[in-house]
Every structure is written in C-alpha cells, then in structure tokens.
A and B are shown apart, each in its own frame.
Chain A
C-alpha cells in the first residue's frame, strides 16, 4: 500500500496514453485541449473532472437542465423561508412591556395559499420530470452501438459484437465508444449489484443479477470521461472505477480492429519466457489471452492489456512499476481482490510484466 501512494503517486484523472505504439487511433492525436477550451465550464472541468456540470451528451444535458430547474426553484423557496425567519426573529422578539400577543388560531385563506403555491411549483417540476423519464427510457434506435457491460467485484467487463454479431471483442474497465453514434449499454452482473456511472454521459443505472438494464446516450466529443461504481458492492467498492474513452469514428474503428486481433506473439526470447510463465501458471485459471491456451473467464481479458491506461479496476496507471506492485500482492492494493497473492518470484514478475506490456 505504502509504495503505491508514495513512489507511484496518484493516478492522474485523465493521463496521456503511456507510450503507445499504435499511433493512428491514439488520443494524443485528438485536439483534447482545444475541445476542452471550446466547451463551457472549462475551468470547472479541470478542477472537477468527474462533475455532472460539464455534460457531454444530450442525455446528461437534459438531466442537468431539469436539475438546474429544481435548484433554482429550491433556492427561491429556501430564500423565502430564511428571510421570513430572519424577519420574524428581528420583528417579533419579546421586549419587556410588550402587550400579550393576539391569540390567533389560524387563517384558512393563508393556509390555502401556502398549500396551492407549493402545488404550483411542484407542477412546474413534475411536467418536465415525467417527460424526461419517458424520453430517457426510449427504445434504442436501429443504428445504436450495443455493448454488453458485466459487473464483477471490482471491475467491469465490456463485450463488443463484431463481424455482424458472430464474434465478440472483450475488454475491461475502459469502455471505448465512437462520438456521434447512439450507444446502448446492456448491463448485468455476475455477482452483487453494481451501478454504472459516467457523470458527463448522463445518469447511472444499476447492474442487477438475472436482469439486463439498459442506458442510452450519444457521446458528443472525443475525450476521456471518468466514472465510478455507485452501488456499494463490498470491500473495494471505493476502488471500482472506470473510464469512457470517446473516439472519432475512425479512431474507434481502428481501436476495435486492433482489439479483435489475437494477442501479439513474443518477439524475443525474454518475452517468450514471460508468455510461458503466464500461460502455464495460475494466471490461466482466470484470465484469457486470445491466441494463447489461456481461456479463463473469471478475470479481465488480457489480450490487449497494454492498450489500457489503467490496471486493477481503473485505480493504477498502466506501467511497469504498478504492474510489478500489483503482481506482488493484489489484495494489498485492492482489499478483498479475487486475485490472490501468487507468491511470484521477483524474477518471474519481471518477465511477466515485460510480456504483459507487449500485449498491444
């Protein structure tokens, strides 16, 4: 734990891709800074990168608009009550010699007024609320990109249909989507209840066993958006984070093509040693690396691990140091993690890390 916080330092919320070689789809090519400058609340987003006040989809914007309406009306009511209380405390405080107050028991007309006015205010909120409830739970349009999301303690699996639905591309924790296309997430869980939440894309939805929930949104701008599990799901709920990476349509296509390929073969002997260690050890029981004999299904798919910004459920930057720390003792970094301490030798860890880093 110590080494993570001290030598590694915190994970920056939206890091540049660490040393990526497949350059074409790389986000570095995206004019992220320009995009942010153009957007409203640029300072706000810098300070609060996970805020719901910088919406980047129509869904998130509609929700924010409704929330702002309730906020303004609420503040108005609040000010009214506070001003009345202040006024009363000044004007009607007891002073010696005051006459006994008049013993009023009520006033039907007044009481009707403060029954009807709140009713009107609530009607002003109720109409757009019901309208938006129905709008945000529509059927997905035909051109929507449908991605399956599966929650685990404490990471996310994303499954993309490719080749007309015959094959599936599987990845973990970082969900990649194109801008401009409606995205429908079909979500369920393999263990306890989780909730998927990327504030800038819109509201959250729970992942519930034996049930498939959906959420529909259209990302508007390329960029990296932060999210977090928002249903308490056990020990490491606080460490169940995720990112949504919105690409240009071309960038998305290239990313998906790369993901659909089997894992790259080792190019030198030390990587081959790493591969042998991974595929012939306990790793194979849980993880899958397509193109190798590893077909485990209970842990994240590692086929293109080096493409990810983060490891360990989005809490650590994906680099050699953190991979090493993670392999030394996963439950120390992520309490309750299903991946046990495999008691790997330092030498073995070095080879494994090198191999994992080659999995572009």
Chain B
C-alpha cells in the first residue's frame, strides 16, 4: 500500500479505519474479525452437536424406545462426534487462537492474513456440507472412527460414508492451513523482547497444538483419501475381501485420533493457565515445567495410539508397550494439575464465572484422567473397551475438559472482544446448570459401562438394570441443554448491553490487556517491547495500590491502571528498538475476496464427488468437481497477483 512509505504521525488519520457491512466481513483478512467469525460459527455448530446429543439421549431415555430408528440413531451418534470435534470444539479453539495470539505476542495480524480467511471459509463450507448430510438423513453412520470394512462400499452402498470422506477432507484442509499459519505467526511475529520462554502460556499451547494439527491431520487426510479411493475408484486399501488388512485403518486412524485428543485439550491447558493466575493474583506456578510437560504430552501422544486397540489382538508385547506409554502420559498431566493448584495456593482468589469454570475444569478433567489411567491397564480395558465406561471417560475429558475450558475462556476474553462484560448472574446460572447437568449426564455412564452396557447401541433391553441410570443421564443432558441456552442468551445480551469493560477488567498480566477493548483494527499503535513474562504486572507500582477488588461490574475503573501500564511499556527511553508509527505508519493488508472464492472452489472439488454415486447417471455431476479445480486455480492465481499485498 502507498501508506507504507509515508511517514505519519501517530494520530487517528494515519491508521486504517474500521469498515462495516456484510461485504466487509466476507472480504476481511483481519485476524480479529476472522476470530469472531470462527467463534460465532463454531458456537452454532456446538448447538447443532448438542441437539444431536439430545436426540441420542432422548432415544435412550428408556429401554426399547422407538423415538429414533436404528439408522437415524447411528447417523446421530456419528454426527454428534464429527460435529463436536471438527466443527465445534476445534474451530472454537481456533477462534481463540485467531483473536488472541497476535494480541498476546504483540503483532498486528497473523503471518498470512488471506490464508487465515481461506481456512475459515473452507471450514464454513465443509461444515455446511456435513450438516446438509445430517438434515437429508444420509449422514455418516459408521462412528467418527469409521472402522473398515464397515465403511467399504459392499457394507455401505449409500452416500453416507462419502460425506465422511469428502466432508472431512474439506474440513481437514482448513485445519492444516490454519495451523501452518499459526506456527509461522508465533515463531516470526513476536514483539521485540518476547523470547519463547516469555510467551504467555496460552500462546505456547497454541504452538504445540498446531504442530500436532499439522502432523496428525496429515496422517488422517492420507487415510481418508485412501478410503475415498476405495469407495470411488476401486482401490482396496482397507478391503479384506481383496486381501487387505482392515487393521491398517485402525492404526492410521488412531495415529491421528489420539493426538487429536491432545489437539482438543492442550489449548485448554493454555486458557486455564491464563485464567488461574489472573484471578489468583499470582504468577503461574512452575511456568517452565508447564511448557515442557505440555511438549512431553504432545510428544508422548504420538506413542499411545494402540491403547484404543487392546481388544484387536496385537499380542502381549505391543499391548504392554502401549499400556506403559499411556501410563507415562499421566505423569506430565498430573504435574499440570498440581501446578495449577500450586498457583492458587496462597493467592487471592476471585470467583468470577471464568474462574469457576477454570477450577471446575481442574476437578472434572481429573476425573477423566483417572478413568483414563484405568483404561491404560490393558487387561481391565478388555472389559471397559467399547462400553459406556469409555463414553463417560471421553465426556469427562471433552466436556469436563475442553468444553468447560472453552466456557472459561469465553467469559474471560469476551470483554476484550466486545468491550463489554458478560453478565455474572447469568454466568452463575449457566455454571450451576452445566455442572449439575454434566455430572448427572456423564457420571452414571461409568456404572452403565461397568454393569455391561455397550456403547453405540440404539436400544437396550429391559431387565439389565440400565433403566434408572439412563433416565438420569438423559435428564442431565437436558439440564446441560438449558444451561447452554442461558449461555447463548448471555452472549447475545451482554454483547449489546453488558457493562463496559475497559482495556483490562480483570487486572490481567498479558499484552492483549494493554490495548483498548475491543482492540482497534491495527491492535497496537506501537509494537510493544517486552521485558518479562507478565508485562502488565511486573515492576508495576500501580499494583501496590491494591488488588482490583470486588465484583467485576465495579472493575471498569481498571482502565486508568492499565493505561499507565501501556505508557510504561512504550516508554521511549526504555524501548530503543521498538517499531513505531513514527517510522513506518501502520500497514494492514487490504481486504480480499479471493479467499472465499478459492474456498468455494475447494468445496466444489470435493463436494461434487458426492453425486458420482447417486443412483442413475442423471446425477453424475463430476464436471462440477472439475469446475471447482478451475475456480481454485483462478482464485490462487488472482490471489498471488492481488495488488496491495
């Protein structure tokens, strides 16, 4: 842009103005807007996934229920997992990555802003594509793990599994693009002075998570592509009838599937590690150990995949190896739990909604971790495998872990994104309903499994003692549903009418709290120079005046305190190497519509292949796929030569 060359004084005229209107959202390359798009879209899919869960629980409310047919039930439990994992929880963590990482590292945007937009639009289109299959009742019906040979065409002639292979390739592409972007952003765009070991713990966890995403989803994409070739082009990668070993699918799937669990939980470790120090008024206990423990968890996560396969008969040596490697993961995980407890110990804890969810996360995730260690004892897992005990375990990890953590993060960072605080009253109601609901829904599942109820069953018989616990579990699920409605109401109301937050309502320590809420489009007027891990706390005389007290509604006074802090960071006598608007002006990339065009092309490339197998040649629309290739080529070419970038 021309403005890059101009020498401008740091007054508003020199900085890009915010645009409004739908077109501005479609063409945006601003990481904050893309973060909001990710957030809103993934909360929508979270509601869809929740609705699917409620349908499942309603069918299981009593034995021999006829609420859903077997086929629809099998689609629903598959789509519940796919929706929650790929369309709700991963993108919701991505929303936080998008919005917060550049702010936490003192950057103006991510490394590749248009690529960021591209990954969002691919995700949106892929999500709608998968959702459409659900609405048409031809959704994937083989479980999210899609074991061969049930996925092969002889056992699944319909389009269900085609939606799985095509939809997940689209969504997976989005994740891989986004994660490369984040890795490069974190490595390259940190503000001067922010060494790796000065990064906020959340940013660290984002880095680890995205390394896992690039590697794990690459593995998964290969498996899904092979399955696509099996189903559409007559190969036999996983077809035992033609001599293949269907166990290969299980190995490849879980090589992705287990790191995927850490992809969903490590970002939460980061969120919790921001919230707990803030509301305890104490720095994180054992920062270095927390970083290395997470790296270790991510690394060990690659060596445990066959603990999902203790029943397939791999032999005692393999079983022992995977049992022991799984137990090892409990050690770094335990360290994290106790370090969070150590952080709170001796602190001055304020029970905001964010903090309540964070503390509950520790408790509930511990429950999930304990049942996880129980499965690692391989012979015991021979009994537990594929029963409701496992369903209980994964929900304590994913709901008690990931979802509670995401709720905590939402309450914590909502004021930064919107400039307004979420209602604490509704927050407490949401918290209470969620906690009672989740324990009612998921705790009885432990016993259902131990007493003999297999998972993924659309019905169960009378007389096995399952009636009462299933009823409780369904009621718990309804309570979670009510809680989630309260949450959404809170989001909508607070975004319009919440109390003004000011830049740093919680008195937090990291860089994102040094700028106004919501942040201006350019984030930092001047790129800050970082001298410590907690730039807004350390060496800060304002803190001696006392802790920001009382209920959050009263804390808008923090504005001035944080204002002083900004001044300190940018004190010209201290920051000699800082980049400033005095020297360069602020260069932000102009909006672009090529990301959405390219994403649409990618949707066509994969999406149109679904018609290939519909009955009759009439629906043979493969040329749509070729058209998609054309759009992608044009899109990328125009993208590369777009002026202003």
Contact = CB atoms under 8 A, between A and B. Distances in A.
Interface of A: 1, 5, 10-13, 47-53, 60, 62-64, 66-67, 69-71, 74-75, 77-78, 81-82, 84-85, 88-89, 92-96, 98, 100-107, 110-111, 114-115, 118-119, 122, 125-126, 128-130, 132-134, 136-137, 153, 191-193, 195, 197, 199, 202-206, 208-211, 213-214, 226, 228-239, 241, 315, 335-336
B282 A74 contact: no
A193 B379 contact: no
Contact of A233 (B150, B313, B316, B370): B150
A101 B331 contact: no
A90 B71 CA distance: 50
B345 A78 contact: no
B450 A53 contact: yes
B363 interface: yes
Nearest to B534: A103
A261 B407 CA distance: 66
B311 A126 contact: no
A206 B454 CA distance: 14
Contact of A48 (B74, B331, B464): B464
Given A133-B319, A230-B454, A233-B150, 12 more contacts: A13-B463, A47-B465, A49-B464, A51-B451, A88-B345, A92-B348, A94-B547, A105-B287, A129-B327, A130-B324, A208-B313, A237-B458
A74 B370 contact: yes
Nearest to A122: B327
A13 B464 contact: yes
B382 A204 contact: yes
Nearest to A46: B465
A67 B383 contact: yes
B451 A81 contact: no
B450 A52 contact: yes
A101 B311 contact: no
Q: Which 4 A-B pairs have the closest CB atoms?
A: A203-B382, A50-B452, A209-B240, A238-B457
Contact of B383 (A10, A48, A52, A315): A52
A214 to B, nearest CB: 8
B461 A10 contact: yes
A84 B366 CA distance: 12
Given A10-B463, A106-B288, A237-B456, A81 B373 contact: no
A112 to B, nearest CB: 10
A10 to B, nearest CB: 4
B246 A209 contact: yes
B149 A192 contact: yes
A228 B466 CA distance: 14
B323 interface: yes
Interface stretch (B44-52, B254-262, B332-340): B332-340
B331 A115 contact: yes
A101 B282 contact: yes
Contacts of A235: 70-71, 74
Nearest to B447: A48
A226 B312 CA distance: 21
A104 B450 contact: no
Given A81-B363, A133-B323, A213 B465 contact: no
Nearest to B239: A209
Given A49-B463, A206-B313, A230-B386, A93 B70 contact: no
B377 A70 contact: yes
A205 B311 contact: yes
Interface residues of B, number: 100
Contacts of A89: 349, 351, 359
20 contacts: A11-B461, A13-B461, A53-B451, A77-B370, A81-B362, A96-B550, A100-B543, A100-B547, A101-B280, A105-B287, A133-B378, A199-B383, A204-B383, A213-B313, A230-B455, A231-B147, A231-B311, A235-B70, A238-B70, A336-B70
A235 B150 CA distance: 11
Nearest to B378: A133
B385 A125 contact: no
Contacts of A195: 311, 385-386
B150 A232 contact: yes
Contacts of B351: 89, 93
Given A81-B363, A133-B319, A206-B312, A67 B347 contact: no
A81 to B, nearest CB: 5
Contact of B246 (A128, A136, A208): A208
B373 A125 contact: yes
Interface in B474-510: none
B247 A208 contact: yes
Given A63-B383, A74-B373, A114-B338, A129 B323 contact: yes
Contacts of B71: 235, 335-336
Contacts, number: 307
Interface string B370-401: 11011011111111111100000000000000
Contact of B320 (A67, A133, A237): A133
Contact of B359 (A85, A128, A231): A85
A81 B337 contact: yes
A232 B148 CA distance: 11
A35 to B, nearest CB: 19
Nearest to B345: A88
Contacts of A202: 382-383
A104 B363 CA distance: 23
Choose among A114, A199, A241 the residue with the greatest number of B CB atoms under 10 Å from its CB.
Answer: A114
B426 interface: no
B344 A92 contact: yes
Contacts of A228: 452, 454, 457
Contacts of B63: 10
Nearest to A69: B377
Contacts of A98: 348, 547
A231 B331 contact: no
A335 B64 CA distance: 14
B335 A115 contact: yes
B452 A209 contact: no
A275 B243 CA distance: 40
Nearest to A75: B370
Contacts of B374: 67, 70-71, 74
Nearest to A68: B380
Contact of B149 (A107, A205, A209): A209
B267 interface: no
A156 to B, nearest CB: 15
Choose among A81, A126, A202 the residue with the greatest number of B CB atoms under 10 Å from its CB.
Answer: A81
Contacts of B379: 62-63, 66, 129, 132-133, 136, 203
B452 A48 contact: yes
Contacts of A226: 452, 464
Nearest to A191: B155
A205 B313 CA distance: 7
B382 A105 contact: no
B342 interface: yes
Contacts of A114: 334-335, 338
A126 B324 contact: yes
Interface in B600-631: none
B143 interface: yes
Nearest to A103: B283
Contact of A118 (B150, B331, B455): B331
A124 B281 CA distance: 38
A234 B154 CA distance: 12
B341 interface: yes
